[in-house]
Homo-oligomer: A and B are copies of this chain.
Amino acid sequence: MTATASLADRVVAGEQAAIARLLTRIERRSPGVDEVISALVRRAGRAHVVGVTGPPGGGKSTLVSALAAQYRRAGRTVGIIAVDPSSVLSGGAILGDRIRMSALAGDAGVFIRSIATRGAPGGLPRAALDAVTTLDAAGKDVVVLETVGVGQAEVDVITAAQTVAVVSVPGMGDAVQASKAGLLEVADVHVVNKSDRDGAARTVAELTDMLRLAPPAPGQWQVPVVSTVAATGEGVGDLIERFDGHRAWLADSGEGQRRARRTTAARIRWIAEQLVADRLRAGHPDFDRAVDEVTERGGDPVAAARRLVQRGLGAGAEDAAAGSDPPDSDPAGSDPEGSARR
């Protein structure tokens, strides 16, 4: 228990090296990380978690930098988690963006980390949620979750946020706007960034018209459209006011509690999905028999899967170990990647 508890304690104390180390473990799904997150979930819940999403090319990284700088000027501490879905091929692109955030580099009140995962289903959204929980438990006032809105996993990531900003840029055209439907549904605030460009007024008008088609019921949130020029900081103060307004509405309306429940449901579902995937990947004996049956003897794969799930996949070696806390084997501070990748 000691080593695990102490990593959680050190994260809660805001120790940068401990935070970096835990984030690396989350990304790698290292043994024992689940227990640390379980301990932190109970100690999180104070931060305002803001999601910033939208298609590539919207200047999201610059906007997130500008938000962080503005929050810092107001005396609030900030954590940034940038989810990198394309790392399989373009590894480092977002990390490159991070380097441009050098204005924030020496500031201990800002923690920046880009995360990527490969592997089990739910891996990326779950890692993002665990990373948010880590920075929340570490005492950051605001946690900004930046994600490119491409693919279901990346859209799922936004489930971890309390307030979601969808970033558009002028002149993207009607077809693109329409196909963004998956993201538009989740917007609490629309941002038209690069609003000094031609066509900005038209994009704002299009979004406003679209929102007018489904006006909020009394007491519901009115989604605003905010114009920004992230590169100069224009409109960023206004944007933060809208975020704060949304947070106040979440608390007053009870919607905040509903979203917390939704986030918990997603968390448990992702953990359960990963457990099933891990057990089947590891070669559960019932699973191996099912594969033989279907491959060699023309068995029904759907019936086989149904039997596996119905029977439960428990009582593996992993469960036997789950009662006791696994030792936290690598000595404190030895994580080679933890601080380097911040």
Interface size for A (C-beta < 8 A) is 74
27 A-B pairs in the complex with CB atoms less than 8 angstroms apart: A34-B302, A37-B302, A41-B300, A55-B89, A85-B151, A86-B150, A88-B183, A89-B176, A90-B179, A91-B179, A92-B179, A117-B152, A118-B152, A121-B121, A124-B152, A265-B291, A267-B294, A268-B287, A268-B290, A269-B305, A271-B305, A273-B273, A276-B276, A276-B309, A279-B309, A310-B319, A312-B313
Question: Using an 8 Å CB-CB cutoff, how does the interface string of A82-118 with B read, 1 for contact, 0 for none?
Answer: 0001111111100000000000000000000000011
Q: How far is the CB of A48 from chain B (nearest CB, A)?
A: 18
Q: Which of B86, B88, B303, B315 contacts A310 (CB 8 A)?
A: B315
Provide the residues of chain B in CB contact with A305, threshold 8 Å: 268-269, 271-272, 275
Provide the residues of chain B in CB contact with A118, threshold 8 Å: 152, 155, 182
A317 and B255 CA atoms in complex are apart in Å by 30
Does A16 sit at the interface, judged by CB under 8 A? no
Does A326 sit at the interface, judged by CB under 8 A? no
Q: How far is the CB of A267 from chain B (nearest CB, A)?
A: 5
Provide the residues of chain B in CB contact with A87, threshold 8 Å: 179
Q: How far is the CB of A199 from chain B (nearest CB, A)?
A: 19
A302 and B267 CA atoms in complex are apart in Å by 9
A91 and B151 CA atoms in complex are apart in Å by 11
A294 and B308 CA atoms in complex are apart in Å by 27
Question: Using an 8 Å CB-CB cutoff, how does the interface string of A264-294 with B read, 1 for contact, 0 for none?
Answer: 1101110111011101110000010011101
Q: How far is the CB of A116 from chain B (nearest CB, A)?
A: 10
A152, closest chain B residue (CB): B118
What does DSSP make chain A's interface, helix, strand, loop or mixed? helix
A311, closest chain B residue (CB): B312
A271 and B272 CA atoms in complex are apart in Å by 14
A302 and B273 CA atoms in complex are apart in Å by 11
Provide the residues of chain B in CB contact with A276, threshold 8 Å: 272-273, 276, 309
| Residues 16-36 of A contacting B (Cβ, < 8 Å) | 34-35
Does A73 sit at the interface, judged by CB under 8 A? no
A290 and B272 CA atoms in complex are apart in Å by 12
Q: Which of A149, A151, A179, A298 has the most CB of B within 10 A?
A: A151
A86 and B287 CA atoms in complex are apart in Å by 32
| Residues 242-268 of A contacting B (Cβ, < 8 Å) | 260-261, 264-265, 267-268
Provide the residues of chain B in CB contact with A226, threshold 8 Å: none
Q: Which of B89, B261, B313 contacts A149 (CB 8 A)?
A: B89
A123 close to B152 (CB less than 8 A): yes
Provide the residues of chain B in CB contact with A280, threshold 8 Å: 265, 268-269, 272-273
A149 close to B88 (CB less than 8 A): yes
Question: Using an 8 Å CB-CB cutoff, how does the interface string of A304-342 with B read, 1 for contact, 0 for none?
Answer: 111011111111000100100000000000000000000
B308 close to A41 (CB less than 8 A): no
A152 close to B119 (CB less than 8 A): yes
Provide the residues of chain B in CB contact with A155, threshold 8 Å: 88, 118
Known contacts A37-B302, A151-B85, A310 near B309 by CB under 8 Å = no
Q: Which of B92, B281, B303, B315 contacts A38 (CB 8 A)?
A: B303
